[in-house]
C-alpha cells in the first residue's frame, strides 16, 4: 500500500514537471498584462452654470428668426400658452423648421432645451449650436427613443443637395430617451473641435463608450432649436432654451 501511494506521488510530480517544460515562461503575471486592458473614458456631467435662458414666453419673433429648411410655413402652427411654446406640424410632405437666435454668438457653448410630445410621433426635436450663414451642428431626439447628431451645410443646401451629414453615421437608439409623452431634456456641447450630446443630463453612449465627435467645420455662431417630421403630423412643446458653460 505504501509503495502504491509513493508511485502516485511520483506520477503527479512528473506531470507537473512536464507541464513546466511544455509551457515554459508562462505565469499569471504575464496573462494579466496591463497592455491587454483597454481604458474606457468616463462620461461627463452637465454643468449647471447657466449664462443665458429664455422661457419662450415673450414674442418669439423678437429674438428668434424662423428658418424653413423643408416644407412651407403654413404647415407650422405655433402658440405660446401656459409657459410652453407649442408647435404643430401639418402632414403632407417633409417639414423641418429651425428657430435661430438673432443676437447670440458663442465659440464654446452647451445649448439645452426641454421638450414634451403631446402625441407620440417620429418627429424630431433638436438643439443647434454654432449656427451661421455657413451652417451649424444639430442634435435631435424623437419620442420613439432615437437620436441623431448632424452637420447642416448651407452651401450644399444652396446647391439643391442634401445639406445634412449624420456625424454618427446612422439613426441610433438610446435608452436615455423617455419615450411617449414624457418630458425630455436634450443638450449639445460644442467645445473646441469636440461635440458631445446629452439626454436627460447624461452623456450619450455609442459602442459602449461616451460619444465624442471631432469636427472642425464650424468654430462659432449662434444657437437654436427646431423640429422636423417626415410627412406626418406632430404636436409638441418646448419649455425653454438655455446655454451653459462647457
Predicted local distance difference test score (pLDDT) of residue 83:
82
> To the nearest whole percent, how much of the chain has pLDDT over 90?
70
Count of other CB atoms within 10 angstroms of residue 181: 12
Is 17's pLDDT higher than 70?
A: no
* Whether pLDDT at 225 is above 90: yes
Cα(180)–Cα(110) distance, integer angstroms: 26
- Average pLDDT over every residue of 123-138: 97
Q: What is the pTM for the complete model shown?
A: 0.81
Residue 137 has pLDDT above 90, yes or no: yes
98 pLDDT exceeds 60? yes
Q: In percent, how much of the chain has pLDDT > 70?
A: 83
pLDDT attached to residue 150: 98
**Each residue's pLDDT tens digit, 28-54:** 333 333 333 344 456 777 777 899 999
Between residues 84 and 141, the one the model is more confident about: 141
Rounded (5°) CA angle 62-66-67: 150
Q: How far is CA 152 from CA 97, 115, 143, 188, 204, in A?
A: 13, 22, 22, 15, 20
Which whole number is the average pLDDT over 160-181? 93
Alpha-carbon gap, residue 232 to 137, rounded angstroms: 24
pLDDT at 113 over 70: yes
CA separation for the pair 97, 128 (Å, rounded):
12
Q: What average pLDDT does range 211-230 have in this prediction?
A: 96
13 has pLDDT over 50: no
Summary mean pLDDT of the chain: 85
Comparing 41-50, 52-61, 145-154, the range with the smallest average pLDDT is: 41-50
Distance between first and last Cα of the chain: 79
* Per-residue confidence band for 218, with pLDDT thresholds at 50, 70 and 90: very high
25 or 148, greater pLDDT:
148
Amino acid at each position: 500500500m505504501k509503495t502504491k501511494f509513493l508511485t502516485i506521488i511520483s506520477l503527479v510530480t512528473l506531470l507537473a514537471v512536464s507541464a513546466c517544460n511544455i509551457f515554459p515562461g508562462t505565469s499569471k503575471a504575464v496573462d494579466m498584462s496591463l497592455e491587454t486592458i483597454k481604458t474606457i473614458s468616463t462620461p461627463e456631467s452637465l454643468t449647471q452654470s447657466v449664462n443665458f435662458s429664455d422661457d419662450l414666453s415673450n414674442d418669439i419673433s423678437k429674438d428668434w428668426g424662423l428658418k424653413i429648411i423643408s416644407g412651407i410655413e403654413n404647415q407650422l402652427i405655433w402658440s405660446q400658452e401656459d409657459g410652453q411654446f407649442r408647435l404643430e406640424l401639418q402632414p403632407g410632405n417633409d417639414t423641418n423648421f429651425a428657430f435661430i437666435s438673432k443676437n447670440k454668438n458663442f465659440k464654446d457653448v452647451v445649448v439645452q432645451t426641454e421638450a414634451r410630445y403631446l402625441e407620440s410621433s417620429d418627429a424630431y426635436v433638436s438643439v443647434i449650436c454654432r449656427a451661421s450663414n455657413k451652417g451649424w451642428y444639430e442634435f435631435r431626439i424623437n419620442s420613439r427613443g432615437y437620436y441623431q447628431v448632424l452637420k447642416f451645410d448651407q452651401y450644399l443646401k444652396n446647391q439643391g443637395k442634401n445639406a445634412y451629414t449624420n456625424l454618427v453615421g446612422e439613426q441610433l437608439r438610446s435608452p436615455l430617451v423617455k419615450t411617449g409623452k414624457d418630458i425630455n431634456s436634450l443638450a449639445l456641447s460644442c467645445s473646441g473641435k469636440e461635440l458631445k450630446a446629452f439626454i436627460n443630463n447624461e452623456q450619450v453612449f455609442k459602442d459602449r463608450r461616451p460619444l465624442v465627435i471631432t469636427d472642425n467645420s464650424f468654430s462659432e455662431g449662434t444657437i437654436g432649436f427646431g423640429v422636423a417630421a417626415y410627412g406626418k403630423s406632430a404636436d409638441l412643446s418646448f419649455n425653454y432654451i438655455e446655454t451653459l458653460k462647457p
